[in-house]
Structure 1
Amino acid sequence: MSDPHEDLLRRPLYVYDLPPNVLDTLTVKPDDEAASCAVNEDDTSPSARDVGHSASSDGINNLVGSQSCSLCAQTFATLEDQRSHQKSDLHRYNLKQKLRGLRPVSEVEFEKLIGDLDESLSGSDSDDSEDDEDDDSTAGKHDSTLAALLRRQARLADKAGGGGGGGSSDDGDPSPNPRTRGKPPILWFSSPLLPEKHYFGMYRAILTGEEQRRNDLVETLRTKQLEPISIPKPAKDGSMPEVAYTGPHIFLCMIGGGHFAAMVVSLAPRPGKGGATTMNREATVLAHKTFHRYTTRRKQGGSQSANDNAKGNAHSAGSGLRRYNEQALVQDVRNLLEDWKGLIDTSELLFIRATGATNRRTLFGPYDGQVLRHNDTRLRGFPFSTRRATQNELMRSFIELTRLKVREIDPAKEPPKDAGKPPSTTAAKSTGQQPAKPKFTEEEETALLHTSQLQAFIRRSKLPALLSYLRNNSLSPDFEFQPPEQNHHGPRPLHLAASQNSAPLVLGLLTRAGADPTIRNNEGKAAFELAGDRATRDAFRVARSELGEEKWSWDTGASVPAPMTKAEADSRDERERKEASEKEAERRRAEEERLRAAEEPAVVESKNKAKARANALAAGLIKTPQERREEEARGMTPEMRMRLERERRARAAEARLKKMQGGGG
């Protein structure tokens, strides 16, 4: 038989339809331990366990390797994702934090830091602009968000008379009505049905202001239980039945980066077979709509209006299209809100994510006939990290909001608070021990940082930047990448450059940086043996020629063949290119000769036919049109000849008219 405790931990518990045995045994957690743990945890941690999704800022336990960033505590599925991250504002901000001796911030903290920046300064709705197009902006301007954030922190530091802190801040709270700021986002309840040190959690945001002010939260939870309601489908004209307006429901909305999604969901559970109720992904959606308009500038970040406000109007086809789409999106969203006014006005709560001044103006105006208002007490922000505005994301957020969490909270297992490390966002499992978080010394952290930077330079073939980084940080050209077990194939810069077939990097590391080609990797291979093309192998031979035989043990240690000068390599390449060009020219000549030979019989035959026709005309075997007309008119009276000529001319005119009409059609 299965353990009832385990069954309870696995069941999805809907806040508005809890089993009686759970509801009758709930008590508010008597101490503040759970609250303090909830405050220290990232807001996204509940969703990791209950929804099965990891939020975009998942902490990944500081994993490191060739496709990870130890500085920002993130891993990546592909190399392209890692390269994109290294260009992001979050990574650059954390690098500046490291140089200042401050701790790096997580993605959620960084979003909060930039959340309250005016779009005219930041020019970025960064979490939604990755798949929009932009062709009229120059490179290097995509760090406007980072620059605006640093300027803002510098101003705050000047006012405070101290350093610009890099920690988390509530200034960027995207919630339009953050009435619970400073309070833990989750309320915790204990129950004898749960194992020891396990608790039920419910988001505070799903309670109204009056319900939060009550002393008896358990009784409040009992009053929120709803009977199943079967809501008919909308009418053919799209109108909702009256029960949809009177039944309890909430409004959810997200807007950012040209993406808009809105949904009205009934809170009442769906009646199932045999009187049972279900509430997983079968929530009753009363209305839903999504829009997408091309409004953000790819790689540059931010909307077109923000760029215009900061730098003046750009004059290009792309900028004009984005300006038009911004206005169209505003009109579409406001028209939709007007159509849903009845459902919005009767909603119990309004969950809205609208980051940036432009998006907030789209929803909250002011404008004539506006539906949403800043001072509405029903307004809430999502108390966890959300992704791009889509219908699926709204449904995921609804399920996350309305599902009772089950979590083990043991203060003895909580790691000590360390201001120098980014907060963990991994949810503790309800059963089993949380794996220990690896700890690194300052030297190890620095080595991991150097590893990520050097590998990025090598993969992008940035030789000047690589040499400058080695020189500025006093690093050896034979720096060993960390951790060694994850870089066994290319443990050093020369090995990685050779495996990437980057001939300029190989030659620069050998001749300008002084890298040692005799060092072998864990597989016993020298850097030369990892080269995959002749150009890279030639770079080793050219370096041997320039450095001389006494510099390294080229034959036995580095396995490099005979030396070759740069001029010899270039001469051979030029000779081979010339030979290939001559072979291609010879092939084309042969092909032209073949085609000419194939055309000659047809040309000869055509000439023969023309010659035979000319001979026949000369011999009188073929009559000309004039001769045929004269033969037809022979023996006719003048009147008959005139009539025949008129008929010929009429037929010729009709033929010309038909031809003209056919050509015009």
Structure 2
Amino acid sequence: MAQTSGNLFELLRRGSLAFGEQAELESSSSAVTTTTTTTTADAQSGANESEPKSQEDAGELGSTSCRTCGLQFEDLGSQRAHFKTDFHRLNLKRRAAGKPALSESEAERDLSKAEDEESLSGSGSESEPYVGSDTEDMPPGNEEGGLRREHASMMVGLKVLGKEPSTLAWVPAAVALDKKREHEDVVALHERPLWVVLLHGAGHFAGVVLRNGREVVASKSFHRYVIRAKQGKAQSANDSAKGNAKSAGAGIRRYNEQMLKTEIGELLESWTAHISASSRIFVSISKTNQHIFFGNESVLSSKDPRVRRIPFPVRRPTVKGATEVGTRLATVHFEPESAYQERQAEVVAKQKAAEDREKARLARSANKASPPQPPSKADAAAAAADTESVEEPEDPELMGNMLEACQSGDTASVILCISQDAEVLNTLSVRDSGDTALHVAARSGHEHVVRLLLENGASPCIPNNRGELPFHCASERKSCKDAFRRFRGEFPDMWDYQKAAIPEAITDASEAAKKERQRERKKRQAQRKREEKQRQRKLEEEAAKRKEAEEAAALASAPSCASCDKKLLGPSSKWFNRLEYYYCSPECMQAHRRKLQADAALARFNK
């Protein structure tokens, strides 16, 4: 679509755009080549308001210092905040690799050159899609904030003044359309050239304030560990789905989510002046996390008409990525107005052709004709004689409709095509396969269409260009193959079924015999199950008898308690022994001992 491109604010400064007649075009029908202009090193270096002290200027480092980065801090809170920055993480990685530490300005340049999809902390897979994708609505259920979904894939054409031939400048609809899909005065943007771009996703945040779509006025990025490793889902999302987990990692991730929200809120409060002076605020954030940006409506509200959703996919939030988003949105693409009008005429012509085809399809479906009677034997013989000399269809459109109806299983359309010209039944298609209607119906597995075609004279003996017969093309569904066999059983003399490769016919008698065999097989199976149950019951009874006999034998051979004559069962380790006697309990042992002593004393007395 566009041969060249330029910066929107540069054109507005020169007064080259006319806010008059505009044209809208779906981006899907155009080939837009977006050229991204990166910011200069000076603009990137101006992102930070102050440079930290280097190691040489720091002097002797105290307890509130960072020996890795060579920085001294006034209090412990500043030191802890430094340890969470990407600047500190980068120097930690460099120290582990044996490389010298970088200053903060050098680290900012290295981080801006890093790939968008890389992360210093190396968090796991992301559950959220690329931020700014079409799966995110901004804001959810609120028609007053941001650009609606149908605007996201559109661009708006503005007249370019003083350029021949007549030229259109295509501007993203997120810039040129307001919340009600009405055109805003784009020409007035040069009076408020500040834009704010905010990106959030998977624990990453990046925000930039741009002047003229490319000069970085302020920038900041945060990252917190909030994604569950190997799970691809934020901790808050997991808690909502499965309840609060009680692991240490879950607690850390919940704390990090809250701290990330707090850090972003504090940053937005510090950017209040930039936000108030900006003309556009482009945001990219998922539905469930919208409260992070719009929690404090005094700073940023979802109902603010300046808030727009980013209309194209954006990778993981970084300062570089946010800057490129603003640069891309400020890029204007030029196209001759005559080329646009020609493309619009093509779009209108395609829409009219599609409407005509839909009307024709509805007309075919409405005209339902009664199915004709099966062909006579003479007609079938004539069709079989013509098998060797099948010609191409005289009406390709009718043949195409016939094949389409057979593929979709539309019986009414098949009948309509046959009533218009019965020759389509045995005509080869102009496709490479050279299928007939019966080939297509069999391959698609529509047995009712196969039956209808055979009853109306379709020959099963005509091969296609690959030498395949209709029965060979029948799908794996048994019912489709049975349709051929049942037709052979009802009309045994109509075709040469050996030539058609149709196996043995299915008749009422064969179906009855098959059902009878199935009943007999089920009876035999039931009989075998009953016999197996009886055999198992008999084996169980025999085993129970053997067990009882063994227990009786063991009881008979078991010794008895010397005191109470109770049978001693179980292992001998549980019996009580004294002299040559065995007892069932200590009480019996003591009682028997006293009895023996009394008997001995009585014997001595009798002497």
Which has the higher relative contact order, 1 or 2, with Cα contacts under 8 A spaced 6 or more apart?
1
Q: TM-score range by the shorter chain?
A: 0.3 to 0.5
Normalised TM-score (structure 1): 0.40
